[in-house]
Structure formats: C-alpha cells, structure tokens
Structure 1
C-alpha cells in the first residue's frame, strides 16, 4: 500500500524542502500536512483526533519553536510546544497508529557544554544543553528514547547540526547575514553589517542534504533499531566570520562590520562539530551539496525576497 506520511510543521523552512524531497523520492506516498490552525500540537485531544483520522505509516515531527531567541523570550511556550507537543504526538501514535514510525527532529544544540571538549561529538556524547531551546529539545529526545525502551515506540531521533538554505528565516545566522548583504546590494541599507560573535566555528549543512537524510530514515526505518539516534553533520566546522566573508565575496559587496550586543549569546560555544559516521553507515548518507552552491542559493533567495519587500 502507498505510504501515508504525516508531517508536522510542513509549512516551515525545513518542511517545505522535505515535501519537495518526498515528492521526488516517494511519488506514490500520501503526504499528510495538517495546517497549524487545524491542529494545535499542544492540544492532546486534537493531536489524538488527527492521528486517529490520518492513520499514518510514518510521521516526521518538525513542528517546534526552533529559534533560540524566541525560546528564551517565552520559555513556557517553548516547553509546551517542544516537549509537551512531542509527547502528545508520541502518545497519539502509540494509541492510534502503533505500527507507524516517528521520525523526531531533535537538534545538535542539545550537546551544549559537551562541545567544550573541543572535538567532533558522536551520538554517545551526553546532552548538556545551555539554553532553553536546547533544554526543551533534549528533554523530548530523552523522553522518546525512554518510551522506545519501555513501550516499544517506533521512533528515530535525528540530531542535525546547523543547516541553512533558500527560504530560511533571518532568525538564523546565515540568512540574517544574507538578508543584510542583499539589502546593501539593493541600496536599501547603509554599507554596515550588524553581527554577533564571529569567532565561533559551526558545522553547517545544506537543508536539502538534511532532508535527504530524513527521506533515507523513512526508507530504512525497518532496519533501524527503535529509538535510534543519528547525528547529521558535515564534519567540517566553519568560522562564522568566514561564512560572512564568503557571502560578501560571492555577492560582490563591501561593508563595514559592526558588533551588536543584542546578537551575542550568553553561553556561546567556540566549536560545535559533529561526527556523522553512524548516519553514513546506516543510511549511506553524506552531504553532497557544495558550500558555495548553498551560499549562492541563499543569496539568490534573499535578493528575490528583498526585491519583494521583505
């Protein structure tokens, strides 16, 4: 029978790219994408009704408060959405679609203080979150692992590192830089770029490579152990300042760089790099899109968005 794949958060940045990837890879699958207005993930009864009606064979859980500043400003909402909402979905699947596999999109940010060891982390490294967003994601990640062990919940937990691409919100660093560069190029902003810390190094991925990994998880879900954890990383951390330099060079823009206190994080980590050996082995996955292509696509996206008034 055709796959029935329920996707929460399908209207978001990653969700839109995932829908494209699934349509290309699984053209016969029914992609079930409830609108936020139709299902509040924090409403357990509404989630249960949705799952009972949809009867999915798999579910990709993307819906979340994903921006660190947003979670910091409203921690109550972050906990309700990221932890309680995830548990609502897991319980609904256990009750109404017990054969379905839940693909939970966690975050590499949950490793937090563990990054201070100064080397690429693998899945054996303990979560040690340093901000509200990471804490909510870590709690949901660990709770699903316990449910898989205790009740047999069929779930896969992926921990993607920083990913970017066309369509991303300027709440995230690459998109924030690209928006300013596009505005400067269009003459809509003085030749001054407002930035946070430029020295930290981060492990960046293209969102389309990340979505390819999610598709591979769905394809191979029966071969993966319940509660499996998979890092998604490039293994090649880049200095934030280098990312900015690349954007400026490829856009042909010159600008004065000014640090802004509001863009600095209280607990920034100098190096966050991941070891994705397990994903390479179990999924036969690795990043394929060149970094320069990612940067060019992000710039082209922001040129168009700035021209449209964003």
Structure 2
C-alpha cells in the first residue's frame, strides 16, 4: 500500500509518516519547494518537493506515485498567525485544497484513492455552553480567519463527494499536543520556557495568558492513529471529530509542567499580549461518532503527553 502525505514535514505529518511506515506502508510526502527536506529517522520515507500553487504539478505527482491513500495536512495551522496573516491563511488553506481536489479528480487514481481532509475544531467557533460537548452536527460559526478557512474546506469536501464522487473523509481534530510541536501552542510554549529556565537561559519567570480556559487535548500519536483508522474503516463522505472528550484547564497544564520541573522557584506572570480574542471558557468535543464507527479511543493520558513534551524540549535546547 502507498500513502501520500501533503505537508509531511510538519508536526503531525512527521508523526503520521512514522505511523504509516510502521504499519508497512510505502510512504511518500510532499513539502513546498522552498522548505528543506525533513530528516526522518527512517530513510524509506520519501520526501518530494511540490509546488502547491500548481495543479499540474500536483496532478503529475499523483499520477506518478498512484497512492492508495492521501492525507492532506498541508496548510497554515496557527489560529494566532491567521489573525496576523489573514489573506495568506485563506489562500493557503482554501486554494491549496481546491487545487489538490481538482488534481485528484483528474488523476489516474480518482476512482480508487481515499483522501482524508483535515479540518479543525475551530470551525465550530461560537458555541453556547448548553451545546457542549460539541458534536459534528453543530452549526459552524467560526470566529477566526483560520476557522473560516477550515469551514470553507469542509464545504468543499461535501461538494466534491456529492458532485464528483471522490472517496473523501473529513476529520475535525480538537487541540492536539505532543513532542515535536513548535512554539505558538500552549503546551510547547510552557515547556520551552520552563526548560530555558532550568538551563539558566531565562530568568525564573514564566509568561502566560488565560489560565482558566478549559480545552480538549489529545496526543498527536492518538491523532495520527485516528487518521489511519478513519481511512481504513471510516465512511466515505462523513465528518468525524477527533478529541478526548475530557476538559483540562490551562492552569492544570502549567501546574503539572511546573511540578515536573527541576527548578522549583519559577514565578508565573500573566501577559495581556497572550490573551487571545474571542476566548471561550470551555471548549470540549464529542467523540461518540468516531468511537462507534471505527472503535477509536485515546491511549495517551494528558500527563504522559506533558512529560514527553517537556523531555523533548530538554533535548532540543
């Protein structure tokens, strides 16, 4: 079996590549020509530079590789960055997806390849407390440019299934965390600051935003397991939440990481610049559908994830 991952050099892409390789797949991945190739531990994972702005380039690669499965991870994934670069976020996430779908429907594998499109819980946006946990049937009311871009791809997904009969599935992951995630995401931001303090690079003060918000965190290794199981067992044309269904306050995340730290004198200071606009106090997903359809459930505890994230930064810094 051959699998193609767009955006393979990203946080999730790297974990997915290893997961698929371990399952016996021949793994191919695309990345922008301007990006350096990822250095995967396993040389069998093949990285292909691709011009995402060229439908012809995408089509050529699809016809050359003839993948059985495609995982579309490429795009701009930061909510914070989407506020700063609205046009780029919309162009990258929407137009890139259209070109991939167009190339797929014109390709030699249009009738055979399964494509998993990756959306986001940010599509749900403004949710009332009485409508939590959030199900796949919730009305989409995105409140960030990133959420708008992903809500648009979910509409494209439905169109290309109904009009062209492509074998598409759609995942809406909630917050995913784990070793290898870049800064700009809460667990990595906390862990990196703590490690810099441990190593004497930074004063023993940690800067934080809103600690009271509760979020639904899932380890990236459980996320990629869900992706592969969805392609194998999921129903074509269906949308699936991927989440733990368990709320954890940001304060708990920070407290647990501080308890793991070698430095017990770290002071916490709130930074108004880190308070995101349109913040919701509780944001939790409902994973009933994916559990019932394919039998997926989380295996990594939040504590195990945090331990691995902290140790990752201890190695990297």
If the length of structure 1 is used for normalisation, what is the TM-score? Answer: 0.93
Residue 252 of structure 2 corresponds to which residue in structure 1? 242
Residue 169 of structure 1 corresponds to which residue in structure 2? 182
Contact 2:115 2:231 in 1 (8 A): no
Residue 67 of structure 1 corresponds to which residue in structure 2? 78
Q: Which runs of 5+ in 2 are unaligned?
A: 34-48
Q: Secondary structure at the match of 2:126?
A: helix
Q: CA 1:264–1:118 in 2, change beyond 3 Å: closer, same or farther?
A: farther
Residue 35 of structure 1 corresponds to which residue in structure 2? 31
> Counting helix residues as a fraction of each chain, which structure ranks higher?
1
Q: Which range moves more in the overlay, 246-255 or 269-278?
A: 246-255
CA distance in 1, matches of 2:279, 2:97: 27
Q: Secondary structure at the match of 1:179?
A: helix
Residue 12 of structure 2 corresponds to which residue in structure 1? 14
Which of 260, 266, 275 is matched with 2:277 structurally? 266
Contact 1:230 1:278 in 2 (8 A): yes
If the length of structure 2 is used for normalisation, what is the TM-score? Answer: 0.91
Contact 2:169 2:231 in 1 (8 A): no
Q: CA 1:74–1:250 in 2, change beyond 3 Å: closer, same or farther?
A: same
RMSD (CA atoms): 1.3
For this pair of structures, how many residues does the alignment match? 299
Give the C-alpha shift of residue 118 in structure 1.
Answer: 5.4
Give the C-alpha shift of residue 116 in structure 1.
Answer: 4.5
Higher relative contact order (CA 8 A, sep 6+): 1
List structure 1 runs of 4+ shifted beyond 4 angstroms: none
Q: Secondary structure at the match of 2:230?
A: helix
Give the C-alpha shift of residue 65 in structure 1.
Answer: 0.4
CA distance in 1, matches of 2:128, 2:297: 22
Contact 1:115 1:272 in 2 (8 A): no
Residue 47 of structure 1 corresponds to which residue in structure 2? 58
